[in-house]
Structure 1
């Protein structure tokens, strides 16, 4: 091989990428009319949905952000307060108390239903159980009913002469009977039990479906190795349900943060302020004692918190699955 050929080889290797780039650009130019047509056609099909989404979602969000910087009763002239409404959110005793109530509701709305849903998946997901279909239907029933119907049913159950107190009196525990939703101590846990009953069915369905997708060979191998039900659950079932647990945790935690209709129908935040939630205070400030700016600030903060919760749970589940 001559020295001239040796000298030209680096130049040829350097020129090869440039030649490939020119070829790619020439092909792109040759296909650009078709690709451009497809792109515009796709945008044309998506435009109505995007416009509708922007009109019903993005525009109200931007308006709410704008309102949150003002003190406004919805009628008189608005006054600029800057971040004052957001500062008030974290200094107002009523709002801080409502945040504490939300933390209690998260336990009842999210943690307990997920634990019970995992237990149900462990019992129903592997093998046959007598009456399992009826059991699943009964647990999923609250998901079919509207939240207002659920609240009305449980309000009757918790009433002074309701089935719960009647059952307590029938077994000789009449001293424990009380107006559960009217008791300062028990009103919030009573609401939490309703949330547990409502959310458990969703968690159960998610987890049972996830267990059904796990290959039977894994469970059979575990049993051959001498694994008992508890070890089988923690070694196979629970790791296989990470995605479903993340979904259930996101839905239930954000549901607790946004709790309004259940609280409004049953207690309206009472007795006193023992069951108030941020969403309930938002409603009061927006419609009962108008302070539109503060109501908008509460809504924006709740939206941000729900978004952060969803992102954190999703990231953690992805890291564990990686």
Structure 2
């Protein structure tokens, strides 16, 4: 009789033999080939001073020390953490409100609205960046609209202002991610039994209290998924920065992914660039493990 866990192989003569986890080997081989090996190779390269062409020189952990001591690299990671607010936290707040209103409000054309809010997700980020660069231009849509309202003093060179450029770029991320978060939350809210809302209403709960007592606890899984996706998007963003600001003005919008590109392909510091990439990978992993742990604890 074959074992209950299904991990068996058929021998000659019709007899069964044990092959523990044998069915996982093909998948693990692909995983190791395309993820684990490149990751291990990246860690190896990060231990060398190498320009990508000549012989590499072993420097140990010097590249990692540089990541934590170089002011520009530290600033790049700080900028990435700021972008988490615009890519993840702000879209989550907006998405919760929009999803709750649309799900409980019986809005007509809900499917059409879902498509519209999700549309930024299917547009290439390069196209999004080019479009918003035109909006933020000195004679672009935003400044033209402000002048039309009589707010001439509010006009800015939005992508050239040392203070406002990073928030301006972050708001593009908010526009892109809000639709994804809203659709995810709407899917979760649509599965909440109506009886829970009826019971809360009979207990005297108003709309706000029903939201916090019924809706919010019911979509914790969707919130964790949304935060995971948007935090990854915030930390690994490159094309948006490259097209809109190229890390400028100065280095006010440089982020780790852009530093990887700049050091590897412009400065010829492949070892240093790989160290930045490895640290960024670890940071993404740690933050998302924390988000998932908090989500599991709250269930």
TM-score (norm 2): 0.91
Indicate the residue corresponding to 1:36 in structure 2.
17
8 Å contact from structure 1 (residues 109, 192) kept in 2 = yes
Whole-Å separation in 1 of the counterparts to 2:292 and 2:21: 33
- Give the Cα separation in 1 of the matches to 2:76 and 2:145: 32
Work out the CA distance in 1 between the residues paired with 2:251 and 2:61.
Answer: 26
In 2, the alpha carbon distance for the partners of 1:36 and 1:149 equals 56
Partners in 2 of 1:40 and 1:62 — Cα distance? Answer: 24
Partner of 1:51: 29
In structure 2, the residue matched to 1:113 is: 91
- 1:254, 1:309 within 8 Å by CA — same for their partners in 2? no
Structure 2 counterpart of 1:148:
126
Contact 1:168 1:174 in 2 (8 A): yes
SS at match of 2:156: coil
Alignment of 1:1-322 (within 5 A): 34-36=15-17, 42=23, 47=26, 49-321=27-299
Number of aligned residue pairs: 291
SS in 2 for 1:298: helix
Q: CA 1:183–1:227 in 2, change beyond 3 Å: closer, same or farther?
A: same
SS of equivalent to 2:92: helix
Shift of 1:37: 6.7
Q: CA RMSD in A?
A: 2.2
TM-superposed CA distance for 1:55, in Å, is 2.5
The TM-score normalised by the length of structure 1 is 0.85
The CA deviation string for residues 41-87 of structure 1, in whole angstroms up to 9 with x for no partner, is 736xx52x443333222221111110011111112221111111111
Shift of 1:32: 9.1
Tell me the equivalent position of 1:28.
none
Q: 1:216 to 1:100 in 2, by over 3 A?
A: same
Once the two structures are TM-superposed, the CA of residue 257 in structure 1 deviates from its matched residue by: 1.2
Local SS of the residue matching 2:230: helix
Q: Tell me which residue corresponds to 2:6.
A: none
Q: Is the 8 A contact 1:158 1:165 kept in 2?
A: yes
- Greater helix proportion: 1
Local SS of the residue matching 1:194: helix
Q: Distance in 1 between matches of 2:21 and 2:264?
A: 42
Separation in structure 2 between the aligned mates of residue 84 and residue 262 of structure 1, nearest angstrom: 30
Q: 1:131 to 1:165 in 2, by over 3 A?
A: farther
Flag the structure with larger Rg.
1
Provide Cα deviations, 1:80-131, integer angstroms capped at 9, x if missing partner: 1111111110000001111221121111111000000000111011141244
Q: Which runs of 5+ in 1 are unaligned?
A: 1-24, 26-30
SS at match of 1:74: coil
